[in-house]
Structure 1
């Protein structure tokens, strides 16, 4: 098998291909997407921190000036939302947005949320165990981060069912060469979510509460589009990754029963286990950057104006960095995985994601000691954001 992100067999198990890339072609050009694939941990880690690369080039030149086709007009509502969030902009705009939003993610603020996260998790898990199991992703993994983020933002209970579909539809645009249908679906979702958030922000500006949207709505230097883009990013990044770490992680534990037993018998391993599960079957397989100046990677010259694809899933299995990289070790102490990124775009919500994951795995291990897989799961078709369609389990 070769690198083929549209092949279901490759999506299900890309790691042998990554191993070949690291050994034989750690920096290689992938013709179907016009990207340079970067496979080794050292290179991926360094390039994430290299300011000669960026998530965007639009702060320097237009699409046409960069020798690229302009985006179709119908996509404008989507990009207005996406590019108003901090992930897809560069300094100084990125610096300003991150400074404003990071006030809600200080270590003290995040840790103060643990009791509420625990209560949400325990309620979900208790209901799940009481009915004897079911789809772990739909009934536990998905509701947890959506509920946490909705409460942070101040989205009313009656509207929270809208968030997951909007998030999934928008994230479809991050896949490689998305179909026309996926593009239109993402645009529709972005437009609906943007309209909803603008209405909510205006109401909170007039009558503030204790939530994040109320706080953001009071900041005069934050534009309405930036407020919307920030909230969409918090939902998408905080939701998709946590769901897929949970699903992929439990599937990894079921395939490594000795490690599941080890973790169940020593819950003090939960923090290292969560880091290992993120490394072992990475939810975000690829992160893209634009080359803003000519660079050289591994002896290969890469010109300004092209896009590189940083293969997180490959970097996290690099034997130059990880002992026995293809083995799951829930007690792995030395674990410099890059699942949260690095550099200025390091995931702002990483501390909250860690709390959610530790509490989620811990609650299931305690309350469902006999949890067992019912049938082998299937993978979603997406490669960049890689996760299971469902994970059917029994509890007693």
Structure 2
């Protein structure tokens, strides 16, 4: 493989798409020595491998670390792994099946639909403040607080405690980047302990006095006598916050950065708000918030004539798959009216994002409110990108009206 993939390079993070184009042209799978992963850049392969039961988000349901040829994580990291390993994103059947079924009993389509008025109200309040002040940082003022407030409202987190959530989430999500440092791990462990302790207290309160919130519903959820353990509930709540807002935050900020760079498309959207549903899907495809999704190879597989042995790790490149010309017509063009748009931003298979319907409600609310209330909004400077590649987003997005 040519030296194309540079996830620690600021220039690559700011625009990985030319490199993806070359990766796709040079083959279906590429070995990347710095992270010891196989990179998979094509849509058809990524889509199929997300559904392939020879792969897994974990291998511990079948092998020990030693049997799989892997070194166990340091004992000091245990609080992070206990939290992470009990969430459905990093589980396989039968545990994944059981826990997801129970969560689905609490996190129903009716629950999500009932949140829409709350989401719209919160979006209107946040945008009104930006309008009143004549501009600000779209990331800090709208993109971040909206999904955090929605998740907090769902879980029944008191308003005074909500500022704790985003820092905890950011520190935990640092461990999902490539080759995280020991300092990143230390912060993730501390956040895991603090967040878990906080939720343990909140769960105990809801056991004593149930409410209309999701934690109360998770406590009550049962299936043929089976219930979620306390750790499974804690891990579920943390996952709902982390996965439930990182994509929304970065789709909002990255999406507006994309629109500002395509003034013709932005003008069309401002003139015709009925384009908004397809526009949101296109913005998620065009600049994907989660660039990479990793899976372990549980049994030998072959990709494009290359044998990938058991014990390997695949890095499925969502950002590249969503720009693959084999699946999308003119993929490097932003088309807010794109009708045929089966992007894989929310994943596929058993790990398809449980919160996708809620994320869409949040995105439609925030983009819609900004289009209505701030029709003259413009960028005041080019943003700087966060160093993270896997969860990719700008550090700020300064605007004025």
TM-score tier by shorter-chain length is: over 0.9
Residue 238 of structure 1: aligned partner: 244
Does the residue aligned with 2:316 lie in a helix, a strand or coil?
strand
Does the residue aligned with 2:172 lie in a helix, a strand or coil?
helix
CA distance in 1, matches of 2:22, 2:295: 23
Instruction: Output one character per residue of 1:45-84: Cα deviation in whole Å (capped at 9) or x when no partner.
Output: 0000001100000111111121111110000000000111
Uncovered stretches (5+) of structure 1, i.e. residues with no partner: none
Instruction: Output one character per residue of 1:286-334: Cα deviation in whole Å (capped at 9) or x when no partner.
Output: 0000001111112211111110000000000000011110010110000
Instruction: Output one character per residue of 1:100-124: Cα deviation in whole Å (capped at 9) or x when no partner.
Output: 1112433333222111110110011
CA distance in 2, matches of 1:31, 1:386: 22
Pick the aligned partner of 1:365 from 366, 371, 394.
371
Residue 125 of structure 2: aligned partner: 123
Pick the aligned partner of 1:353 from 354, 359, 366.
359
CA distance in 2, matches of 1:147, 1:302: 43
Preserved CA contact (<8 Å) 1:291 1:308: yes
Residue 153 of structure 1: aligned partner: 155
Residue 302 of structure 2: aligned partner: 296
Residue 386 of structure 1: aligned partner: 392
Preserved CA contact (<8 Å) 1:141 1:242: yes
Does the residue aligned with 1:328 lie in a helix, a strand or coil?
coil
Preserved CA contact (<8 Å) 1:291 1:305: yes
CA distance in 2, matches of 1:62, 1:188: 26
Preserved CA contact (<8 Å) 2:107 2:214: no
Residue 218 (str. 1) matches residue 224 (str. 2): no
Residue 247 of structure 1: aligned partner: 253
Runs of 4+ in 1 over 3 A off after TM superposition: none
Residue 342 of structure 1: aligned partner: 348
Pick the aligned partner of 2:40 from 38, 46, 49.
38
Preserved CA contact (<8 Å) 1:34 1:307: yes
CA distance in 1, matches of 2:306, 2:194: 44
Pick the aligned partner of 1:173 from 172, 175, 193.
175
Pick the aligned partner of 1:229 from 218, 231, 235.
235
TM-score, normalised by the number of residues in structure 1: 0.98
CA distance in 1, matches of 2:105, 2:279: 28
Q: How does 1:80-95 map to 2 (within 5 A)?
A: 80-95=82-97
Residue 18 of structure 2: aligned partner: 16
In the TM superposition, residue 285 of structure 1 has moved relative to its aligned partner by: 0.2
Preserved CA contact (<8 Å) 1:145 1:356: yes
Residue 266 of structure 2: aligned partner: 260
Instruction: Output one character per residue of 1:359-394: Cα deviation in whole Å (capped at 9) or x when no partner.
Output: 110000010010000000000000000000000000
TM-score, normalised by the number of residues in structure 2: 0.97
Residue 329 of structure 1: aligned partner: 335
Pick the aligned partner of 1:108 from 100, 110, 116.
110
In the TM superposition, residue 217 of structure 1 has moved relative to its aligned partner by: 2.5
Does the residue aligned with 2:5 lie in a helix, a strand or coil?
coil
In the TM superposition, residue 213 of structure 1 has moved relative to its aligned partner by: 0.9
Q: How does 1:276-295 map to 2 (within 5 A)?
A: 276-295=282-301
Uncovered stretches (5+) of structure 2, i.e. residues with no partner: none
Aligned positions, number: 395
Preserved CA contact (<8 Å) 2:4 2:23: no
CA distance in 2, matches of 1:149, 1:300: 43
Does the residue aligned with 1:113 lie in a helix, a strand or coil?
helix
Residue 74 (str. 1) matches residue 76 (str. 2): yes
